[in-house]
Chains A and B, each alone.
Chain A
Amino acid sequence: MSTVTPNPNECLMALYEERHEIEDYQKGVPRWCPGCGDNAILTAVQRLCRDQNLRPERTVFVSGIGCSSRLPHYMNTYGFHSLHGRALPVAEGIKMSRPELDVFVNMGDGDCCSIGAAHWIHAIRYNMNLTIMLHDNQIYGLTKKQMSPTSPLGLKSNTSPRGAYLEALNPLTVTLGVQNVSFVAQTVDWNPELLYQVLSAAYRHKGFSFVRIVQRCPEWLPKMMDPWMQDASKVLLLQHPDGVTLSPESSRLFNNQEAHDPSDIDRAREIASDIDPIPVGVLYRNPEVPCYEEVRHDPHLRTSAFVQHGLEAEFDKFTVWPEEPEAPKSHRKQTRK
């Protein structure tokens, strides 16, 4: 057998991976309504992929069902457009099996907070290294204007013609209330720089990175977000070196700011409970929470010989050996005195 001596130049070359451009991540023409926040999210995500130079074949976008969940179809990566509410367990199965993949999850507010609420709560507990985008436009879009769990009290919709009768569910306080929470952020679709920076911080965080994106639905709630878009004082920008810091130019758009340390969970909960002004930026970040895939993943290389060895040991536990002829010694040793 000959030995191959590595060529030092080739080894060096391998360090310089192929650079990807934004077009490498683009696929098809999005069929969202003009002005839909999903377009902004798609653009931010593609920029993030480019800047992190993610390899398209090692990147997976998993989604549920709804307008938001069409996003994987417009990414030239691997994707899985699954079922209403079930994106998280599908993504968990993928990440558990292949921790080396970059896995993103796109969900709508009904998807995550209503039909998928159980999966959401438990996904926070599992804390797998996933980047979660909750596209929250506070209304069901694809099924045509029904109220969502995040619809504000009094919102008129096709299923609440006299106004939504319950207080809205706050995805931030819910997430922050679960033991094991490791990353919670909020952003808006209409500020591209903020959107990008928050998604980028979420991607870089190792763990279940939950980002709620407050998003416009130009079709069913065209004026809903106007107060926040028009009055900068109704938005609170959280800046911190451990969270996000916007450029001075972008930062100037926010006259309401706080230097919030994302390791402070008590303050994060206070901020999250407030919906006026709505906080944007990283609310909470704890890199110390163990990831489920690391706690559970077995590093053994599974060859057939390895499995055979384990299987034979299991068989031995349940084997009744004949008296004659002699069974193989290796097996007898473990079962007989």
Chain B
Amino acid sequence: MIETQEKSGLQKKKAPQSGAKGPKRVTKLHEHIIEIISDSGEGAQRCGQSLGAIAARMGYGIWTIEIIPAEIRPPARSVAGASGNRIRIGEGQVTNGGNETDLVVAFNEQVLLGRVRSGQLKPGCLILLEDKWRQDPDPAIVASYVETYGQLVKAGFRVLEIPMEVECLKHVRDARKGKNMFALGVLCSIYSLDLQVAKDQIALTFGKKAESVIQANIELLLAGFEWAEASLDFKYAIPCKRPTEAQIVVNGNTALALGVLASGMEVCAMYPITPATSASHYLAEAFEKVGGVLHQAEDEIAACAFAVGASYAGKCAVTITSGPGYSLKQEVIGLAVMAEIPLVIVNVQRGGPSTGQPTKVEQGDMLCAVFGSHGDAPKVVLAPATIEECFYCVITARKIAETFRMPVVVLSDANLATSQSPFPRPAFDVAWFAPPIDQTPAPAGAKPYAWDPETGLSQRFIPGQAGGTHTLTGLAHDENSHVAYDPEINQRSLRARSLKLAALQKTLLPPPVFGDPEGDLLVIGWGSTKGAIEEAVAGLRKEGHRISSVHFSFIQPLPPGVKEILGRFKHHVAVEVNWSDDPNDALIDETNRRYTALAMMLRSRYLVDIDCWSEVKGQPLRPAKIREVLMKKLEEVEA
């Protein structure tokens, strides 16, 4: 049942004794990865989020990842129903979810199995397991528990049974609603976290509820803490420094939504889709306080068309979606390209094609973002790489959309969407905010598409503006927006729309190289993989390898200077979370191989032999896995 771990052949370690008194064994660490998992509805999510927030408030670097089942209420004690949170706590900045888990708190043994089978737990991982199932009235449950417990121990995990339910019932009537805070208290003791900060965090989390709710939760927190202090014989200590500046702790979707507020956008039209929807949940609450409108349309197409209408009427508009919704929006995005209407489209990528893996990580939409819609539809594509960039890139996207009168696609993904990591609290800059559109009467003879021959740009007139009346159309049209089938006009107007990308590119800076500007191997990435790639590259550099990496936040247009950067390295490998054929597969050779998306774009554009590696398992890439791949590549390169 848990074969992967049994094969690891690790030594079984003795579990720490319960009821230990006296001095504790304190292990100093640089970082640890902790998971809290339960059945859906038992509060492990909240426990994990609170733990992350407490650690962040104390100055630790953190990266949290949600563990979400595909169903809302999966059956209790089911393998697929595991719900919870994974928190990487480190003494310095933490830029990604890291590798395997070091310590797990599990509310039952079944929710562990999926984690074990998919290789999420480190060999020898410490498991704190609720033990009430041993005395369950249902003999089948007892049998399952005992069997699984035995297997876990046999597989080399250090399983420590803890009486969560028994202890909670001393304080509350319904232990189902209290175990999460008890577990939080236990973790505060294990990781020597500041109890006062923990209490403050609980007060903040339950701030909207009654004082009695806050008190009950704090009581459980203290119960967990005291139980651990009295019963466990070990502690972990990770050094940390109190932060010197204010930090914002949100996930990528909330960061995107805050960017929508900050940019002065006024309309967000959407249709619910995982994993993009939480951004609109947040906006539904916050947006209207600053005079914005969140419109839930009848479908994705309508949402996009609504945003186009709002933008045409002079408001900054955004539509937020995910893969399948993005496919539906392509028709209207083409209209925005053709009619030159500013529009920001956020695509929080998920696993696909089709309905694919809604809650899983993938970077599969780059090519349809760049080349999508039909015909030749030039548009700008940006990809945030961190939670912080999720905030700023929306502001950038809006600015580009309005300046260049074109759609801008922001490619986030499920990894950024649900992960939390602190970033410095932004200081409001009035330049973020959309300036009012010039509505002075248009001069006589003004044309709605007076394309500048050097840049392709033209001034837009919006309804209400005297002298500017014209009819926009998705049909081929001339400078006056008159439908035109003149043999020259389509070519001329397409040139103008395409030229805008070149004009934008001229305003960009070359991407910074992480590591030395030249060397043996350049690792290329985009989007949410940045932290993991750079961690792997930094490790290899420390060992003396001539390796660097470059990360693209502009996908279309690509930034300037890329050819020069590529030219300074002997070999190149793109690391992405989308498909590439394995060159060692029996049927695959260099003439029929499919490459990952960015590798393919760079190969075609710069005629550089860029290799690629990818993994589409629905999980964020792990630095250790990337390191292993790069090591192999370096061996070939250095030989």
- Which A residues are within 8 Å of any B CB, using their own CB? 28, 56-62, 72-73, 75-83, 86, 88-98, 100-101, 118-119, 121-122, 296-298, 300-302, 304, 306-315, 318-324, 327, 331, 335-337
Using A83-B335, A318-B254 as known contacts, say yes or no to A93 and B243 having CB atoms under 8 A apart: no
Residue contact B433 to A83, C-beta cutoff 8 Å: no
Residues of A contacting B249 in the complex (Cβ-Cβ under 8 angstroms):
318-320
Q: Is B452 an interface residue (CB 8 A)?
A: no
Kindly report which residue of chain A lies nearest to residue B53, judged by CB atoms.
Answer: A320
Q: Per a CB cutoff under 8 Å, which of A56, A310, A320 touches B289?
A: A310
Which 8 A-B residue pairs are closest in the complex by CB-CB distance? A93-B309, A79-B471, A310-B290, A89-B305, A300-B291, A81-B473, A89-B302, A122-B298
In the assembly, what is the distance between CA of A90 and CA of B313, in Å? 10
Q: Which of B34-42, B134-142, B257-265, B606-614 sits within the interface?
A: B257-265
Residue contact B317 to A93, C-beta cutoff 8 Å: yes
Using A94-B312, A118-B299 as known contacts, say yes or no to A298 and B292 having CB atoms under 8 A apart: yes
In the assembly, what is the distance between CA of A321 and CA of B267, in Å? 31
Over the window 456-496 of chain B, the binary record of Cβ atoms lying under 8 Å from chain A Cβ atoms (1 yes, 0 no) is: 00000001111111111111000000110000000000000
Residue contact B472 to A296, C-beta cutoff 8 Å: no
Kindly report which residue of chain A lies nearest to residue B285, judged by CB atoms.
Answer: A314
Chain B, 301-320, CB within 8 A of any chain A CB: 301-303, 305-315, 317
Q: How far is the CB of A43 from chain B (nearest CB, A)?
A: 18
Write 7 A-B pairs (CB below 8 A) sorted by A numbering.
A81-B473, A82-B335, A306-B290, A319-B246, A319-B247, A335-B204, A337-B200
Kindly report which residue of chain B lies nearest to residue A327, judged by CB atoms.
Answer: B246
In the assembly, what is the distance between CA of A153 and CA of B203, in Å? 68
Kindly report which residue of chain B lies nearest to residue A100, judged by CB atoms.
Answer: B464
Residue contact B332 to A83, C-beta cutoff 8 Å: yes
In the assembly, what is the distance between CA of A92 and CA of B463, in Å? 14
Chain B, 271-301, CB within 8 A of any chain A CB: 286, 288-293, 295, 297-299, 301
Q: Which of B364-372, B421-429, B528-536 sits within the interface?
A: B421-429
In the assembly, what is the distance between CA of A311 and CA of B255, in Å? 12
Residue contact A97 to B266, C-beta cutoff 8 Å: yes
In the assembly, what is the distance between CA of A80 and CA of B312, in Å? 9
Using A82-B474, A118-B299, A296-B293 as known contacts, say yes or no to A93 and B463 having CB atoms under 8 A apart: no
Q: Per a CB cutoff under 8 Å, which of B248, B291, B306, B464 touches A319?
A: B248
Q: Per a CB cutoff under 8 Å, which of A58, A80, A83, A92 touches B471?
A: A80
Residue contact B290 to A77, C-beta cutoff 8 Å: no
Q: Is B242 an interface residue (CB 8 A)?
A: yes
Chain B, 494-512, CB within 8 A of any chain A CB: none
In the assembly, what is the distance between CA of A119 and CA of B242, in Å? 54
7 more CB-based (< 8 A) A-B contacts, given A73-B473, A96-B306, A98-B464: A79-B469, A94-B312, A97-B309, A119-B298, A306-B291, A307-B262, A310-B261
Residue contact B463 to A98, C-beta cutoff 8 Å: yes
Q: Is B348 an interface residue (CB 8 A)?
A: no
Residue contact A320 to B246, C-beta cutoff 8 Å: yes
Over the window 384-426 of chain B, the binary record of Cβ atoms lying under 8 Å from chain A Cβ atoms (1 yes, 0 no) is: 0000000000000000000000000000000000000010011
In the assembly, what is the distance between CA of A90 and CA of B332, in Å? 10
Q: Per a CB cutoff under 8 Å, which of A58, A76, A122 touches B302?
A: A122
Q: Is B244 an interface residue (CB 8 A)?
A: yes
Kindly report which residue of chain B lies nearest to residue A120, judged by CB atoms.
Answer: B298
Residue contact B242 to A322, C-beta cutoff 8 Å: yes
Q: Per a CB cutoff under 8 Å, which of A57, A89, A296, A322 touches B301?
A: A89
Q: Per a CB cutoff under 8 Å, which of A61, A93, A306, A307 touches B307?
A: A93
Residue contact B464 to A101, C-beta cutoff 8 Å: yes
Residue contact A304 to B306, C-beta cutoff 8 Å: no
Chain B, 41-82, CB within 8 A of any chain A CB: 53, 56-57
Q: How far is the CB of B546 from chain A (nearest CB, A)?
A: 39
In the assembly, what is the distance between CA of A82 and CA of B335, in Å? 7
Chain B, 197-247, CB within 8 A of any chain A CB: 200, 203-204, 242-247
Q: How far is the CB of A316 from chain B (nearest CB, A)?
A: 9
Interface size class of B (residues with CB under 8 A): 35 or more
Kindly report which residue of chain B lies nearest to residue A73, judged by CB atoms.
Answer: B471
Kindly report which residue of chain A lies nearest to residue B331, judged by CB atoms.
Answer: A83
Q: Is B430 an interface residue (CB 8 A)?
A: yes
Residue contact B261 to A72, C-beta cutoff 8 Å: no
Q: Per a CB cutoff under 8 Å, which of B248, B292, B305, B310 touches A83?
A: B305
Kindly report which residue of chain A lies nearest to residue B56, judged by CB atoms.
Answer: A320
Q: Is B269 an interface residue (CB 8 A)?
A: yes
In the assembly, what is the distance between CA of A119 and CA of B298, in Å? 7
Residues of A contacting B246 in the complex (Cβ-Cβ under 8 angstroms):
319-322, 327, 331
In the assembly, what is the distance between CA of A97 and CA of B310, in Å? 6
Residues of B contacting A96 in the complex (Cβ-Cβ under 8 angstroms):
267, 293, 295, 306, 309-310
Residue contact B310 to A94, C-beta cutoff 8 Å: yes
Using A89-B306, A90-B308 as known contacts, say yes or no to A322 and B264 having CB atoms under 8 A apart: no
Q: Per a CB cutoff under 8 Å, which of B204, B297, B426, B469 touches A77?
A: B469
Q: How far is the CB of B131 from chain A (nearest CB, A)?
A: 35
In the assembly, what is the distance between CA of A269 and CA of B301, in Å? 31
Q: Is B250 an interface residue (CB 8 A)?
A: yes
In the assembly, what is the distance between CA of A77 and CA of B471, in Å? 8
Kindly report which residue of chain B lies nearest to residue A91, judged by CB atoms.
Answer: B309
Kindly report which residue of chain A lies nearest to residue B267, judged by CB atoms.
Answer: A97
Residues of B contacting A101 in the complex (Cβ-Cβ under 8 angstroms):
313, 463-464
Residue contact B302 to A118, C-beta cutoff 8 Å: yes
Kindly report which residue of chain A lies nearest to residue B203, judged by CB atoms.
Answer: A337
Kindly report which residue of chain B lies nearest to residue A304, judged by CB atoms.
Answer: B433
Residue contact A298 to B293, C-beta cutoff 8 Å: yes
Residue contact A60 to B463, C-beta cutoff 8 Å: yes
Kindly report which residue of chain A lies nearest to residue B307, judged by CB atoms.
Answer: A93
In the assembly, what is the distance between CA of A229 and CA of B577, in Å? 65
Residue contact A93 to B203, C-beta cutoff 8 Å: no
In the assembly, what is the distance between CA of A284 and CA of B264, in Å? 41
Residue contact A312 to B428, C-beta cutoff 8 Å: yes
In the assembly, what is the distance between CA of A61 and CA of B468, in Å? 14
Q: How far is the CB of A135 from chain B (nearest CB, A)?
A: 17
Residues of A contacting B301 in the complex (Cβ-Cβ under 8 angstroms):
86, 89
In the assembly, what is the distance between CA of A94 and CA of B474, in Å? 17
Residue contact B471 to A322, C-beta cutoff 8 Å: no
Residues of B contacting A315 in the complex (Cβ-Cβ under 8 angstroms):
248, 258, 425-426
Q: Per a CB cutoff under 8 Å, which of A92, A122, A313, A321 touches B309?
A: A92
Using A57-B468, A308-B428 as known contacts, say yes or no to A320 and B312 having CB atoms under 8 A apart: no
Using A75-B471, A86-B301, A312-B428 as known contacts, say yes or no to A92 and B306 having CB atoms under 8 A apart: yes
In the assembly, what is the distance between CA of A101 and CA of B468, in Å? 15
Residues of A contacting B463 in the complex (Cβ-Cβ under 8 angstroms):
57-60, 78, 94, 98, 101
Q: How far is the CB of B73 from chain A (nearest CB, A)?
A: 28
Q: Per a CB cutoff under 8 Å, which of B298, B428, B469 touches A78?
A: B469
Q: How far is the CB of B257 from chain A (nearest CB, A)?
A: 9
